Structure 1
Amino acid sequence: MKRLQIKTAQNVNINFALANVGQRLLAFIIDNILKFAYLYFVIKVFNFTLIQAAFGDDNWTLKAIDILIFLPITFYSLYSEILMNGQTIGKKFMKIKVINVDGFKPSITDYVMRWFLRIVDFNLFMLIFVYVASLGLDGREELLWLLFLFGKLLGFLLIVFTNKNQRFGDIIANTVVIYLKDEVKFSETILENLSNEYVPTYPNVIKLSDNDARIIKETFKNAAKFDDYKTLIKLRTKILEVTGIISKHNSDKDFIDTVLKDYNFYTQNM
């Protein structure tokens, strides 16, 4: 399994396992099953014969209805990754996630770019077909089938043969897809999974370094696991001393957990 090594501002190296083509393909299949299930549900629920009869020859209205029906699946991967912090339902099931190559959360622009460039990764055939058709190559159906397969597989071929398992959209958007369930687990790094609505409590956490955050997290995990309250008190005292924070939490565990989340929030959004 290929790995991505990220060097932080404090020269601390963090390693991530890159999702392979098999994991991404399975996530892709799961997402497409959900899309087909949505279409099946819509077709079964709505009586399109009555809709067509109601609007008659009003093709513009019928086209508008078609667009509205297909909007959820057209933009599925885009809004899913934005709302689910780099994951679709398929990616979540396969324990993979989109991040920036520098280890940060991708921006909305990054998500839009990698979504838009799916037209190159998985629909290049459409672009090539227009060119080939313009040449008037009649009787060359086998060539068109080869172009179709190449166009559909381009994204997967790039994932296989690029150093960071990136499709074209990833390369342009400067993103990678990582495997979260790894020997060096995501939870064992200084990074935390934060929701888009997360509101930080302690701005002074920026006085900590990446190495400080790593030590705090490792110590906190071990102390919390064995209910080592003496260590938790010492850890809380040290954090207060270094940062000058005035704690708003009565619980040592809640305070330290909030400090780690706040540190991630500020370092990922600076």
Structure 2
Amino acid sequence: MSEIQINTTQNVNINFTLSSIGERVVAHIIDLIIKIAYGFVIVWCFEAMFSTDDWFYELDYWSRVAIYIVLIFPALIYTLVLESLWEGQTVGKKILKIKVVKIDGYQATFVDYLIRWIFRIVDLNILSGFIALITVIMSDKGQRLGDMTAGTAVISKKNKVLISHTILEELGEDYKPQFPTVINLSDNDMRIIKETFVIAKKGKDYETLKKLRTKVEQVMETKSDKATVPFLDIVIKDYNFYTQNM
């Protein structure tokens, strides 16, 4: 699968896996089913409230159309509302574990989601989504026209690599970082640090650990009273915390 590199606001480059066309199509179908189901249920319930002699059926055609539009309006803004509230995800995207992100590293705003939503008229409604399919295939960032205009992309949140084999560390939800200057380190720096740390710690190579600590403190421009092993362990976890929460 293709990848995209995003430079975060802390100037850290992070590689993300782009969601596949299949994932996006399935997510879209799930959302479409939800919207259609809502429309049928809400209209059926509304019409069940009236008999053929009630005021509703005495209205002219366009008045009734206006009422139907009001009733199904939540379905029309479904994608916009959920992506805004759930930071780039709808029910379909959550199930498929994909989400919308800004490619410039900043948090996507309501305006970004609004632009994507408006362009759905062209991307997905005209020619039954053919335009979106072609632009996603042709774009090196897997973007449809709405994504190109809003500066967004759709990434996969699935972790297909064991976390112990990467620079990442398992963190609890209540984890509190201790060294903000860890963002001075690059992604490549952290890979080297973790590999060296794991090997040196396992082999009880304290001299290497000491040299590694000195170098890390220089780059981070910090000093700590903690012992070397706990210090390096916290540095790795802090880096993971900051890069995953940007």
TM-score (norm. length: structure 2): 0.65
The residue aligned with 1:81 is: 83
Aligned partners of 1:95 and 1:179 also within 8 Å: yes
Per-residue deviation at 1:67? Answer: 2.3
- Paired residue type of 1:79: V
The residue aligned with 1:14 is: 14
**1:31 corresponds to 2:6:** no
Aligned partners of 1:117 and 1:168 also within 8 Å: yes
**1:157 corresponds to 2:134:** yes
Q: Secondary structure at the match of 2:50?
A: helix
Per-residue deviation at 1:39? Answer: 1.8
- Paired residue type of 1:209: N
Aligned partners of 1:122 and 1:153 also within 8 Å: yes
The residue aligned with 1:167 is: 144
Alpha-carbon deviations, 1:158-195, whole Å to 9, x = none?
112211111000011010000111335899778xxxxx
Distance, in Å, in 2 between the alignment partners of 1:97 and 1:30 is 15
**Structure 2: where are the runs of 5+ without partners?**
169-175, 199-215, 225-235
The residue aligned with 1:137 is: none
Q: Secondary structure at the match of 1:70?
A: helix
Aligned partners of 2:136 and 2:142 also within 8 Å: yes
Alpha-carbon deviations, 1:217-264, whole Å to 9, x = none?
x79xx9xxxxxxxxxxxxxxx99x9499xxxxxxxxxxx999976887
Aligned partners of 2:12 and 2:183 also within 8 Å: no
Per-residue deviation at 1:63? Answer: 4.0
**1:122 corresponds to 2:124:** yes
Change in Cα spacing, 1:168 to 1:189, as seen in structure 2 (3 Å) is farther
Alpha-carbon deviations, 1:119-172, whole Å to 9, x = none?
110223xxxxxxxxxxxxxxxxxxxxxxxxx45311112112211111000011
Per-residue deviation at 1:81? Answer: 0.4
Aligned partners of 2:123 and 2:144 also within 8 Å: yes
**Structure 1: where are the runs of 5+ without partners?**
125-149, 191-200, 223-237, 245-255
Change in Cα spacing, 1:10 to 1:98, as seen in structure 2 (3 Å) is closer
Aligned partners of 1:159 and 1:167 also within 8 Å: yes
Aligned partners of 1:205 and 1:263 also within 8 Å: no
Distance, in Å, in 2 between the alignment partners of 1:109 and 1:64 is 27
Change in Cα spacing, 1:5 to 1:259, as seen in structure 2 (3 Å) is closer
Per-residue deviation at 1:61? Answer: 5.3
The residue aligned with 1:41 is: 41
Q: Identity of paired residues, percent?
A: 35
Distance, in Å, in 2 between the alignment partners of 1:109 and 1:211 is 31
Aligned partners of 2:12 and 2:186 also within 8 Å: yes
**1:97 corresponds to 2:99:** yes
Change in Cα spacing, 1:70 to 1:264, as seen in structure 2 (3 Å) is same
Name the Cα RMSD after superposition.
4.7
Q: Between Structure 1 and Structure 2, how many residues are aligned?
A: 214
- Paired residue type of 1:121: D
Aligned partners of 2:10 and 2:183 also within 8 Å: no
Change in Cα spacing, 1:112 to 1:210, as seen in structure 2 (3 Å) is farther
TM-score (norm. length: structure 1): 0.60
Per-residue deviation at 1:83? Answer: 0.6
Change in Cα spacing, 1:152 to 1:208, as seen in structure 2 (3 Å) is closer
Q: Secondary structure at the match of 2:100?
A: strand
Per-residue deviation at 1:207? Answer: 8.0
Counterpart pick for 2:158 among 181, 189, 197: 181
